[in-house]
Amino acid sequence: MYLGRVRGTVVATRKYAGLEGVKLLVVEPLSDKLANAGEPHVAVDATGQAGLGDLVTLVGSREAALALEESFVPVDAAIVGIVDEVTSAP
């Protein structure tokens, strides 16, 4: 599981059968200090409520493929939570 910030949306007129009606969002991975931690990538929004600028938690790999109602869809990242606050030790 990792943190990310939603930076944009992706519009796809054709999707894999299990992805109809699922939002695709561009997410920038972040460290626990909220610093950039990698290249932006596309994630499915399993919460259905994430939006531009939101701080979110994501899962990758197999867990991402299982995060949607239609399990085992071909995705590499899924938003599974919207973060209210992050507190980390100095």
Q: How far apart are alpha carbons 32 and 47 in whole angstroms? A: 21
What was the pLDDT predicted at 42?
A: 97
- Helix, strand, coil shares, percent, the chain, to 5: 10, 40, 50
**pLDDT at position 90, please?**
73
Is residue 72 scored above 90 in pLDDT?
Answer: no
Q: What is the pTM of this model?
A: 0.93
Question: SS3 for 43?
Answer: strand
Cross-strand partners of 78: 44, 59
Place of tokens 């259905």: 48
Give φ, ψ of 57 to 5 degrees. Answer: -105, 145
Q: Which residue has the tokens 């460290």?
A: 31
Query: Once rounded to an integer, what is the mean pLDDT over residues 5-24?
Result: 93
Residue 71 pLDDT > 80: no
